[in-house]
Amino acid sequence: MRRNALRLLRPTGLEASGGITLANVHEIAETGVDRISIGSLTKDVKAADLSMRFDA
């Protein structure tokens, strides 16, 4: 049933998002979607402090 829906929506392209992680992205990709959004790639990133301080 998913593949039939994909064929109908193909002209506009289909993006999958929401609840997608690196653990399940392969399963989602196998459905044939055109794009996959994985929010955890940007929202769960730890920032690194790369500041430089100079003493004068």
**Domain residue limits at 7:** 2-40
54 found inside a domain: no
56 within a domain of the structure (yes/no): no
In a domain, 46, yes or no: no
Residue 47 lies in a domain: no
Q: What is the domain count for the chain?
A: 1
The CA distance from 26 to 46, in Å, is 24
Cβ atoms 33, 14 nearer than 8 A: yes
| 46 Cα distance to chain centroid | 18
For position 29, what pLDDT does the model report?
93
CA dihedral 45, 35, 23, 18 (to 10 degrees): 70
Sign of torsion, CA 18 20 26 27?
Answer: negative
pLDDT digit string, tens, across residues 20-47: 988 999 999 998 888 999 887 777 777 7
Asked, for residue 13, whether it belongs to a domain, the answer is yes
**pLDDT value of position 50:** 81
Tens digits of per-residue pLDDT, 2-17?
A: 667 766 766 677 889 9
Predicted confidence band of residue 53 (pLDDT cuts 50, 70, 90): confident
Would 25 be classed as within a structural domain?
A: yes
